């Protein structure tokens, strides 16, 4: 009965959207050819149903909705310092509740953006020379967590390290078995994912014990993304408040090809600053003992619509590597090392000449704001 219950929980958590953070922020900076920069900040507030029966989460979301409605939200307070040449504020409501606020602004120099980033925990430096541009971001100060929140994270880190160690031990046991019986990879992985195909088939008792042990150990690892009753934040959010100087997602769109990059994640025309939190640390850490990883393939922070749906056949065909599972103290040490921002996030790229002169670009300011909003990274 215990194994059956755990199987149902692991299957249903992503479908219920339990890993959605109640309030999410995204700051996007778009460098256009020429003198202008478009800055877009988005605050998303989850559905009221996300709070469930948790009064602390409900109060947190009520405050966020009230701030958004009155213009006293995070970005509503900081964007006026940009002295924008074009600006727009959009509040989206659903069922009468403010659910999304979008602040967009166009500036004609980096200086006001430097000030804004400084108030958000990042010292910024920008230079343009000889057809190239370079942006540097340096974490400044400490996180925003209270003393009590920091103590909560410190206390939980030891217990979570034990859970991660137990999960890695269970997963490496399965991978060691699959090295000896590679033809059993698809059936075993399909039962871990609870996603079955014509190729999956049944598993025997020994395989079932390994699969159920993985599910049993994955649940407390994923719990770091859940908000306990009576708390307003998940442990993962508290770790971000504790260790990261910038809260939220930060992306930068470039107007030319990248020449050098450091500390940032490269996408198609966009770079992203990775967050500093427990889940990101887990993703970075498990690869040295286990690849591909099972729990991060099944679960991610975000709403139910963004939860991954791994293909067991494709996953089972990936090259597997594993090493003896670390003990909890080693896991705690590795997590602590990764719960530190990089000293610098830097990108240098080749800029393109502007197709219009400065005055024409400014005249089309609102159109550029619309374009930036329409092209926000997923």
Confidence at residue 357, expressed as pLDDT on a 0 to 100 scale:
57
Residue 50 lies in a domain: yes
Residue 240 lies in a domain: no
For residues 94 and 175, membership in a common domain is answered with no
For residues 35 and 173, membership in a common domain is answered with no
Average pLDDT, the chain: 90
Identify whether the C-beta of residue 28 lies closer than 8 Å to the C-beta of residue 43.
no
In this predicted structure, the answer to whether residue 1 has a pLDDT above a threshold of 50 is no
Query: Which residue range forms the structural domain that includes residue 253?
Result: 19-144+247-274+342-374
Confidence at residue 365, expressed as pLDDT on a 0 to 100 scale:
64
Q: How many CB atoms lie within 10 A of CB 230?
A: 9
For residues 162 and 253, membership in a common domain is answered with no
Q: Which strand ranges, in their side-by-side order, compose the sheet holding 345-350?
A: 122-129, 132-139, 345-350, 258-262
Whole-number percent of the chain with pLDDT over 70: 92
Confidence at residue 20, expressed as pLDDT on a 0 to 100 scale:
86
For residues 74 and 94, membership in a common domain is answered with yes
User: pLDDT digits over 17-69, tens only?
Assistant: 358 899 999 999 999 887 889 999 999 999 998 888 999 999 999 999 999 99
Average pLDDT over residues 97-121: 95
Q: Which comes out higher in pLDDT, residue 1 or 319? A: 319
Residue 111 lies in a domain: yes
pTM: 0.89
Give the pLDDT band of residue 362 (cuts 50, 70, 90): low
In this predicted structure, the answer to whether residue 72 has a pLDDT above a threshold of 70 is yes
Pairing of strands 270-273, 122-129: unpaired
For residues 171 and 84, membership in a common domain is answered with no
User: pLDDT digits over 145-172, tens only?
Assistant: 999 999 999 999 999 999 999 999 999 9
Sign of CA dihedral 15, 20, 25, 31: negative
Give the pLDDT band of residue 378 (cuts 50, 70, 90): confident
Residue 239 lies in a domain: no
């Amino acid at each position: 009965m215990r194994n059956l219950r755990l199987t149902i929980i692991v299957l249903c958590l992503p479908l219920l959207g339990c890993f959605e953070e109640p309030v999410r922020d995204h700051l996007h900076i778009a460098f256009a050819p020429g003198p202008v920069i478009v800055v877009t900040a988005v605050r998303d507030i989850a559905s009221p149903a996300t709070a469930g029966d948790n009064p602390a989460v409900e109060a947190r979301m009520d405050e966020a909705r009230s701030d958004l409605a009155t213009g006293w939200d995070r970005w509503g307070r900081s964007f006026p310092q940009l002295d924008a040449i074009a600006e727009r504020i959009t509040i989206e409501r659903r069922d009468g509740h403010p659910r999304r606020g979008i602040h967009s602004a166009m500036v004609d120099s980096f200086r006001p953006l430097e000030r804004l980033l400084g108030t958000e925990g990042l010292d910024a430096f920008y230079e343009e020379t000889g057809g190239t541009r370079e942006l540097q971001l340096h974490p400044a100060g400490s996180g925003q967590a209270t003393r009590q929140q920091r103590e909560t994270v410190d206390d939980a880190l030891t217990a979570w390290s034990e859970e991660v160690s137990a999960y890695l031990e269970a997963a490496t046991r399965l991978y060691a078995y699959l090295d000896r019986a590679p033809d059993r990879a698809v059936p075993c992985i399909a039962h871990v994912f609870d996603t079955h195909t014509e190729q999956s088939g049944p598993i025997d008792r020994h395989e079932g014990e390994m699969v159920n042990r993985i599910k049993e150990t994955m649940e407390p690892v994923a719990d770091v993304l859940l908000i306990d009753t009576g708390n307003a934040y998940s442990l993962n959010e508290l770790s971000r408040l504790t260790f990261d100087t910038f809260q939220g997602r930060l992306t930068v769109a470039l107007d030319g090809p990248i020449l050098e990059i450091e500390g940032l994640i490269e996408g198609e025309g966009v770079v992203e600053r990775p967050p500093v939190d427990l889940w990101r640390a887990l993703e970075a850490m498990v690869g040295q003992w286990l690849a591909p990883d099972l729990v991060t393939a099944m679960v991610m922070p975000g709403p139910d619509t963004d939860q991954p749906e791994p293909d067991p056949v494709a996953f089972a065909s990936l090259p597997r590597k594993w090493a003896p599972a670390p003990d909890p103290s080693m896991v705690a040490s590795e997590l602590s090392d990764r719960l530190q921002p990089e000293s610098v996030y830097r990108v240098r790229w080749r800029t393109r000449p502007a197709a219009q002169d400065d005055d024409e670009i400014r005249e089309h300011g609102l159109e550029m704001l619309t374009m930036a909003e329409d092209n926000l990274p997923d």
